[in-house]
Structure 1
Amino acid sequence: MYHSVGDCSDDPYRVTVTPDRLERQLDWLGRRGLTGVSMAALLAARGRGRGRGLVGLTFDDGYADFVEHALPRLRRRGFGATLFVLPGRLGGDNAWDPLGPRKPLLTAEGIRHAAAEGVEIGSHGLTHVDLTTADDLTLKRETAESRAALTELTGAPVDGFCYPYGTVDRRAVDAVRDAGYDYACAIDPGPLGGRLALPRVHIGQNDGAVRLFLKHRLHRLRRRPVEGL
């Protein structure tokens, strides 16, 4: 689970890695015979019993720096990824974060460019709302309407959803299912599980070789959410 790729000198929520750090982390995967893929590709491969050696790479929030810094590094290695975006904030910024710098988000053109380069586009909701505290109307808008908007924007099916802040409960899962998504990513879903509450490992600027090794090995045991995401 990645977010922004750029300057991390002011990063109170630990959501940024520098381009050089990302490059070293991707190389770490490659040296171990691991290939980064989109979540859709990972789940499809696992369904065929061929998921060994594949790692799902996700980038939340749809920061504009994905196209500049992450996409070229993924392409050079033949890696795929899933980009979870906010169609209700196209060309805006991370206004939901009270601290830290304002980071620009991708425009519709930027999202279409990423999709044309083979990146899977998924929904992160319309506007980055905690679904566990949303009323019924907001919950439907953030799930169903965001999927419809992205399908129209990209001209392709949108199968993946990512819970904002990683927060998820049964009501949110039911809304995602009702909206027609095939899978959904959380951070630590607690007692929830299955394709609509997939756990992920947060990767940050401090994750060098040793920390990556431990996170890779201990992923199945990890149950602590990451503050601020």
Structure 2
Amino acid sequence: MYHSVDKCDDDPFQITVSPDRFARQLLWLARRGLTGVSMSRLLRAHTEGDAKGLVGLTFDDGYADFCSEVVPALLERGFSATVFVVSGLVGEHNAWDEGGPRKRLMDADGLRWAARHGMEVGSHSAGHRSLTGLSEAELHDEVAGGKAALEDLLGEPVNGFCYPYGHAGAREVDAVRRAGYGYGCAIWKSELSGRYALPRTYVGERDGALRLRAKHARHRVRWAW
């Protein structure tokens, strides 16, 4: 689970990985025979029994640096990834991160460019609101409305959803399933873990080889579903 890849000296929420560190993290994967792929490809490979050596790479929020920094680095390795986009804030900035660095979000052209280069675009809701405190109508707008908006923008189906802040209970998971998504990404393992609440491992600027090895092992042992 990544967010932003950019140069940033002031990052209290630790959502930013520097381009140099990111390149070294991709190299770490490649040297171990691991290939970064989108979540839809990873899940399809699991269904077909052919997921050995594949690692799902996700990028929450849809920052503009996904186009400038992430995609070129991925393509250089023959990797792909999924970027989860806030449909109602395309081309704007991360207003929800009060107290953190202002970061531009991908615009419509950037989203289409990323999709043309083999990246999967998923939904991170319509407005990056915690879903657990919303009314049924608001929940529908965030989940189903976000999907419809991105599909109109891209001209293709949107298969994946990512819960803002990782907040997801049974009601929210059911809403994602009913909206027609093929899967949902959470953060932590829980009693809901499965195709619609996939646990992920955070990767940050401090994660060098030793930490990546530990996180990879922990994810495989503790977060299997």
> What does residue range 95-134 of structure 1 map to in structure 2 within 5 Å?
95-134=95-134
Paired position in structure 1 for 2:65:
65
Q: State which drifts further: 50-59 or 212-221.
A: 212-221
Is it true that 1:193 corresponds to 2:196 in the alignment? no
Letter aligned with residue 21 of structure 2 = R
CA displacement at 1:169 relative to structure 2: 0.4
If the length of structure 2 is used for normalisation, what is the TM-score? 0.97
Q: Which runs of 5+ in 2 are unaligned?
A: none
Looking at structure 2, the residues matched to 140 and 6 of structure 1 have their Cα atoms a distance apart, in angstroms, of: 33
Looking at structure 2, the residues matched to 154 and 101 of structure 1 have their Cα atoms a distance apart, in angstroms, of: 28
Q: State which drifts further: 24-33 or 94-103.
A: 94-103
Q: Which runs of 5+ in 1 are unaligned?
A: 224-229
Shift in alpha-carbon separation, 1:97–1:14, aligned structure 2, 3 A: same
Asked if 2 retains the 8 angstrom alpha-carbon contact of 1:167 and 1:189, the reply is: no
For the residue of structure 1 that corresponds to 2:36, the secondary structure is strand
> What does residue range 146-161 of structure 1 map to in structure 2 within 5 Å?
146-161=146-161
The list of structure 1 runs, each at least 4 consecutive aligned residues, that deviate by more than 2 angstroms after superposition, is 220-223
Paired position in structure 1 for 2:163:
163
For the residue of structure 2 that corresponds to 1:110, the secondary structure is helix
Paired position in structure 2 for 1:136:
136
Paired position in structure 1 for 2:30:
30
Please give the root-mean-square deviation of Cα atoms over the aligned residues, in Å: 1.0
Deviations 1:92-124 (A, max 9, x none): 111001112110101111101101111000000
For the residue of structure 2 that corresponds to 1:60, the secondary structure is strand
For the residue of structure 2 that corresponds to 1:55, the secondary structure is strand
For the residue of structure 2 that corresponds to 1:184, the secondary structure is strand
Q: State which drifts further: 167-176 or 212-221.
A: 212-221
Paired position in structure 2 for 1:93:
93
Letter aligned with residue 39 of structure 1 = M
Letter aligned with residue 123 of structure 1 = S
Looking at structure 2, the residues matched to 86 and 76 of structure 1 have their Cα atoms a distance apart, in angstroms, of: 27
Looking at structure 1, the residues matched to 82 and 36 of structure 2 have their Cα atoms a distance apart, in angstroms, of: 10
CA displacement at 1:221 relative to structure 2: 4.7
Letter aligned with residue 219 of structure 2 = H
Looking at structure 1, the residues matched to 220 and 78 of structure 2 have their Cα atoms a distance apart, in angstroms, of: 26
Paired position in structure 2 for 1:218:
218
- Give me the identity figure in percent: 57
Looking at structure 2, the residues matched to 187 and 194 of structure 1 have their Cα atoms a distance apart, in angstroms, of: 12
If the length of structure 1 is used for normalisation, what is the TM-score? 0.95
Letter aligned with residue 108 of structure 2 = A
